[in-house]
Amino acid sequence: MSAIETARAVRAGERSAVEVLEEHLARIDAREAEIHAFNLVTEESARVQAEAVDATVAAGGDPGPLAGATVALKDNMCTRGIPTTCSSKILEGWIPPYDATVVTKLAAAGAVFVGKTNLDEFAMGSSTENSAFGATHNPLDVSRVPGGSSGGSAASVAAGFAALGIGSDTGGSVRQPAAFCGVVGMKPTYGAVSRYGLIAFGSSLDQIGPFAADVADAAALFDLIAGHDPRDTTSIVDFVPSAGAVLDQGVDGLRVGVVRELSGGPGSVEGISPDVIARTNAAVEALAAAGAEVEEVSVPSATLGLSAYYLVAPAEASSNLARYDGVRFGLRVDGATTGEMNTATRTAGFGEEVKRRIMLGTYALSAGYYDAFYGKALKVRTMMLNDFASVYDKVDVLITPTAPTTAFPMGERSQDPMTMYVNDVCTIPSNLVGHPGISVPFGVGDDGMPVGVQVLAPATHDALTFRVGAVLEAAANAGGES
């Protein structure tokens, strides 16, 4: 039963929210030890929430459109009275005094939070192996990674631990784990979903997005969390979500562009596997069969996205993470002087990948290298904005693979940062330009693991990604992915 169907049944009194919760907790008890999707399972507070939903229904009230639907929250979103760690020792045990806007909206909609999910520390990674509290495993094959950084949220949905998941996407951290775990994951337009209460990694890139087992549930979740928030100065004032209303509109006459530079052909970025290319081509054929007008298009600067991102994102991280100084909150390791205390705290509190990115970002922002590195990366970002604007004059949406490969074995790339970074080559461009993108499962690769196909659209056209995603999902379910 989908999240939408479950909520309808609970609101109608046909099922109890407590019963729904206990089913999910039983699945967590059975498999969490081998998967490690959660940093914290909030069993007691979840039961209180579920009981409150049932009490509202019994009293003749409406607990909200997600009544009794279980949600797994990435552990970089503030939850009042519940620890929020970003999977880092430097925040271990920190309890926020407020809720993120997304958390507040979901609670008001009747959702039941089953736990805080594991992630790459401060959302820096593509495999959820960089967590200070241990790696998360892919529930479809526990010898493989679930993707990252939102691997815990993706794994929790794939394993049936929660009906819905919430992640954050800075360079692909919702879409790539969705592809690896065979679920739907979506990155909204920058500013479409409030970032208030999301602990920052790259402030001009971060965006909260939904995970679900199908497109309809993902659309319903997106519509609930999106919308203007005056507490987030980057929030789009007049954005009105409407994904659920367009799911049955099809793609007849829609102009679909296949991005040459991200599709494995001549002039494409390197490293996209043939089986992933084959599934992406099959998805394109399915859209054409459904009436879409398909053509190959070029976004030349997309090949520069990876290089630009790994200057912009670390630069912003080096600024954002400066607040973890051992004074205001989180871990404190004492030292003889303030400087020694700062150094000891950060040495003990931050993991290797976080330290690597802080150093890279600080270097890129330093006086002697700012123009040569960070400044040039910003120019590439502007070039990408112009290239995407040009291509969207010709087509309505773009199609690419979500990730270059299927889920890879645990430990295979954890010691090679450059190989790991390439996992985000197809997803990073939309973060740099602030556009929406969705990953929808479309068959499996040669190893039997899921392949995700990505749909990109212009800024604020988030509903269009769901519309196309629904057609891809229907084709996959009908066997059109083979």
Residues with a known catalytic role: 74, 149, 173
What are φ and ψ of residue 275, in 5° steps? -70, -35
C-alpha count within 13 angstroms, C-beta hemisphere, residue 48:
5
Residue 268: Cβ within 10 Å count: 18
| Farthest-apart Cα atoms in the chain, separation | 70
SS (H, E, C) 4-30: HHHHHHHHCCCCCHHHHHHHHHHHHHH
Q: 108: Cβ–Cβ under 8 A, 6 or more apart, which residues?
A: 64
- Rounded to the nearest angstrom, the gap between the alpha carbon of residue 475 and the centroid of all alpha carbons in its chain is 24
DSSP for 290-334? Answer: TT-EEEEE--GGGGGHHHHHHHHHHHHHHHHGGG-SSSSSS----
**CB–CB of 458/150 below 8 Å?**
no
- Rounded to the nearest angstrom, the gap between the alpha carbon of residue 422 and the centroid of all alpha carbons in its chain is 17
Instruction: Indicate the SS3 state at residue 48.
Output: helix
**CB–CB of 247/219 below 8 Å?**
yes
Strands 450-456 and 437-444: antiparallel
How many residues belong to the chain?
A: 482
DSSP for 194-238? Answer: --TTBPPSSTTT--EEEEESSHHHHHHHHHHHBS--TT-TTS-TT
Q: 479: Cβ–Cβ under 8 A, 6 or more apart, which residues?
A: none
Termini Cα distance of the chain: 26
Q: 94: Cβ–Cβ under 8 A, 6 or more apart, which residues?
A: 83, 84, 85, 329, 330
Instruction: Indicate the SS3 state at residue 133.
Output: coil
* DSSP bridge pairs for 187: 437
